[in-house]
């Protein structure tokens, strides 16, 4: 569900609760008003009935009794006014002079008049109270009728308001349902797109991995071929010289013996490539060995590399190092810059001397081999080596024969 639809839902719920609460409060107040009018009406009716009873049972009887004493008879309430008028006229006729300060009636007649006058006053008060009660009763009936109409209208308005709230709630529910439906549809669409993209990425990764593996295999194959070519090129100039042979090989134990010893100027750590001559003069490279122990006429070597495990190093295979000679020290010149190479010029010179060879400061006509470093083209000694046809190879191809 979207944030907007949730906000609309919350607003509608709050509005519904507020309207319902307001309607309940209004209904309660109107109910109190109606009950109050009913109480007032009931009280007014009770007071009016009491006044009516008192007027009939007390005041009317008193006036009737007193009137009989002075000679007037009446049985109906409607005759009271007429009788009182006759009695008043008689009293006026019986009055004495004003200067005497009062009535000249006999004592009994005067007492009767006072009683009748008091009863008349009480009767008038009772009539007034009865009229007031009657008016209040009428007003209460009007208020009760008005309250009943309000209640009836309230019921109708309440039903209308409830119907409107239910319609609004249904509308909001429909909106929520539509939002949820759209959300689920959008969610499923995005999930399908994510699955599709994930699968595409997986397929692309697999393809890239396969391509990378193929390229790595090709690079390894080319690197192997180049390494073999380097080995061939490194000693191509001197293949006519046979330096030594493999004797008593132990391929499984990774060691063998060669027919070169201390009398042949062999030194510990000397690296030699292993090869075999094929009919026609071709050379097949088989691996590398390194001198570990030296004897008078032989040396023990470790087999550090085998080109083909199905073509192992065997007895009779030839060994060679372009910087070594069993008959005499070779003269080697270093041409170019060696600041960023595996060995510096000084370190490379020391290792060459450890092999029993001689390091020359410049190329001469007796130079056996030239190792070139960086920027060798600008070195005059390289031009001289070319003029003298001295064999040369780059440092990264020859330094491998100097050991680790």
For the stretch 257-272, pLDDT in tens is: 999 999 998 899 899 9
Judged against a pLDDT cut of 90, whether residue 331 lies above it is answered with: yes
Global pTM value: 0.42
- The pLDDT of 343-360, averaged and rounded, is 91
Task: Give kind and range of the element (H or E) at residue 235.
Answer: helix 107-236
At a CB cut-off of 8 Å and minimum separation 6, what does 30 contact? 147, 150, 151, 154
- Tally of CA atoms within 13 A in the half-sphere of 323 that contains its CB: 32
For the stretch 164-197, pLDDT in tens is: 888 887 887 887 787 788 888 888 888 898 988 8
Go through the domains of the chain in sequence order and give each one's CATH number.
3-180 (no CATH), 238-321 (2.40.10.410), 324-404 (3.40.50.10190)
Q: What is the structure's pLDDT at 66?
A: 67
For the stretch 233-262, pLDDT in tens is: 444 444 556 689 999 999 889 999 999 999
Q: What angle do CA 370, 374, 379 make, to 5 degrees?
A: 65
3-state secondary structure of 319: strand
359 — pLDDT class (breaks 50, 70, 90): very high
Q: How much is the mean pLDDT over the chain? A: 78
DSSP state for residue 312 in the 8-state scheme: -
For the stretch 113-163, pLDDT in tens is: 666 666 667 667 767 777 787 787 777 777 777 777 767 776 777 788 788
For the stretch 47-103, pLDDT in tens is: 777 766 766 666 667 677 666 766 667 677 667 667 767 766 665 555 555 444 444
Long-range (24+ apart) CB contacts under 8 A made by 55-61 are 55/123, 55/126, 55/127, 55/130, 59/119, 59/122, 59/123, 59/126, 60/123
Tokens of 110: 């005067």
Q: How far apart are CA 374 and CA 340, in angstroms?
A: 8
Q: Which of 105, 101, 127 is nearest to 115 (CA)?
A: 105
Judged against a pLDDT cut of 50, whether residue 14 lies above it is answered with: yes
Task: Give kind and range of the element (H or E) at residue 300.
Answer: strand 299-306
Q: What is the structure's pLDDT at 164?
A: 83
Judged against a pLDDT cut of 80, whether residue 31 lies above it is answered with: no
């Amino acid at each position: 569900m979207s944030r907007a639809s949730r906000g609309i839902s919350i607003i509608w719920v709050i509005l519904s609760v507020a309207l319902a609460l307001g309607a309940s409060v209004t209904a309660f107040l109107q109910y109190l008003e109606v009950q109050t009018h009913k109480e007032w009406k009931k009280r007014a009716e009770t007071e009016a009935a009491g006044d009516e009873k008192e007027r009939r049972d007390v005041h009317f009887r008193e006036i009737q009794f007193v009137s009989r004493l002075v000679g007037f008879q009446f049985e109906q309430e409607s005759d009271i006014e007429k009788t009182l008028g006759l009695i008043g006229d008689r009293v006026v006729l019986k009055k004495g002079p004003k200067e005497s300060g009062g009535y000249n009636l006999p004592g009994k007649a005067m007492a009767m008049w006072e009683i009748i006058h008091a009863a008349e006053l009480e009767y008038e008060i009772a009539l007034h109270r009865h009229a007031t009660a009657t008016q209040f009763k009428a007003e209460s009936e009007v208020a009760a009728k008005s309250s009943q109409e309000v209640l009836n209208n309230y019921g109708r308005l309440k039903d209308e308001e409830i119907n409107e709230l239910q319609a609004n709630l249904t509308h909001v529910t429909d909106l929520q349902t539509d939002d949820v439906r759209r959300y689920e549809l959008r969610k499923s669409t995005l999930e399908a797109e994510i699955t599709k993209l994930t699968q595409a990425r997986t397929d692309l990764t697999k393809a890239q991995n396969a391509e990378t593996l193929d390229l790595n295999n090709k690079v390894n194959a080319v690197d192997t071929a180049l390494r073999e070519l380097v080995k061939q090129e490194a000693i191509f100039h001197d293949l006519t010289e046979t330096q030594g042979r493999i004797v008593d090989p132990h391929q499984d134990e990774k060691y063998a013996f060669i027919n070169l010893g201390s009398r042949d100027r062999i030194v510990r750590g000397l690296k030699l490539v292993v090869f075999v001559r094929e009919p026609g003069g071709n050379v097949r490279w088989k691996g590398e060995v390194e001198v570990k122990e030296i004897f008078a006429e032989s040396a023990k070597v470790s087999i550090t590399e085998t080109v083909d495990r199905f073509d192992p190093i065997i007895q009779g295979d030839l060994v060679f190092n372009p910087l070594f000679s069993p008959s005499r020290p070779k003269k080697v010149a270093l041409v170019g810059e060696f600041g960023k190479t595996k060995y510096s010029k000084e370190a490379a010179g020391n290792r060459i001397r450890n092999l029993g060879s001689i390091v020359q400061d410049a190329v001469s006509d007796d130079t056996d081999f030239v190792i070139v470093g960086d920027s060798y083209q600008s070195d005059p000694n390289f031009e001289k080596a070319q003029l003298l046809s001295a064999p040369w190879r780059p440092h990264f191809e020859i330094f491998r024969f100097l050991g680790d």
